[in-house]
Amino acid sequence: MAAARIYLDWNATAPLMDAARDAMVEALAMPGNPSSVHAEGRAARALIEKARREIASLVGAEASHVTLTASATEAANQVLSPIYRMGKSRVSLGRLYVSAIEHPAVRAGGRFAAHQITEIPVTRLGVLDLDALSALLAAHDPADGLPLVAVMLVNNETGIIQPIQEISAVVKKFGGLLVVDAVQAAGRIPLSICELGADFLILSAHKLGGPKGVGALVARGETLMPEPLVRGGGQEKGHRAGTENLAAVAGFGAAASRMSKDLVERNAAIAALRDRAEAGMLAAAPETVIYGRSEARVGNTSFFHLPGLKAETGQIAFDLEGVALSAGAACSSGKVGASHVLTAMGEDAATGALRLSIGPTTTETHIDRFVATFEKIAARRKPAGQAA
């Protein structure tokens, strides 16, 4: 009898947790529209606002500053806008600065034209180059409008944690706004939008055990906001039109509430499992390269390269052995290509790398099976220079 499959691709999507599923089932039974004033509508609205408070609490924000969206990608497209509003006044942002390791949803630049986007390099260790950021912002022409800087808190491939507070200090020195993609950080490290110095955070429900198809844009304040991306009704204080997805929002809130509990202890245990996996890989194949190992990382992620093995070949080999992991970001319809993160770090991205990402239900048994599978794949690969 074949062994049960094990899932080690939590950075692509986390399995739906029971608390989120229960909240969604309850919400699906509610008939009211959250914008209706009758009792059924008010009950639906109460559920939306409960979830909003739970999402805000996870990142140390005010509930009134949370705009619900259909995804983190939508939130990125909303906030990456050259036009903001301060009350009735229009505020122009002349240029977008994005780090070279951003998720494609941010690298695409939202509503900025290609000629308005500037890439910020990272060091060979995968950390944003603060000197380069300072030089870019110093050269920014204020006549073009305010600079907008977008940087992820945790890289989705390497797990490296970016120095957001230091980045914020540079951005504020030059009068800019800072957008932080916190998708891979939420529920994995303590978060406070104010302590980070971010003006906006981008969140996704399905990365932390909630449902797919719901995200949030969290603002530090309400004075300055991007022009709406989705227009029509007055939902979300006019920041995002469309009847809220009640069941998905309820699931998002439940997942956020659960992940905010025992956060430090839970993630220390997860980090120990990740370290167990890396120790096993290095024992089996000492030449294995683990990217970002010397830097601060979230505890659930390991991005590694086994010389002599192409990432696509490795991913298929693990899958055939019943182990699900990935070759980087899951955002290209299953296509495995060169990692732009490795390229930005100055690494040879031609053969790619594999990403192990785990979560609260991962066990030592899962990790030991991963290591055993790794040993088997490492033993049958072709010699270096003849990558399979």
354: helix, coil or strand? strand
Q: Which of 331, 348, 363, 364 is the catalytic position?
A: 331
Token pair, residue 85, equals: 């509003």
| CA 128 – CA 102 distance, rounded (Å) | 10
Q: What is the CA radius of gyration of the chain?
A: 21
| Contact predicate 138/174, CB 8 Å | yes
- The three-state DSSP-derived secondary structure of 107-150 is HCCCCCCHHHEEEECECCCCCECHHHHHHHHHCCCHHHCEEEEE
| CA 103 – CA 151 distance, rounded (Å) | 9
Residue 19 CB coordination number (10 Å): 17
312: helix, coil or strand? helix
Token pair, residue 97, equals: 């600065």
| CA 17 – CA 19 distance, rounded (Å) | 6
| Contact predicate 353/327, CB 8 Å | yes
Match 């006549």 to its residue by tokens. 143
Looking at the DSSP bridge assignments, the partners of residue 277 are: none
Catalytic-residue membership of 331? yes
Q: What is the DSSP string of 9-71?
A: BTTT-PPPPHHHHHHHHHHHT----TT--SHHHHHHHHHHHHHHHHHHHHTT--GGGEEEES-
As annotated, the active-site residues are 331
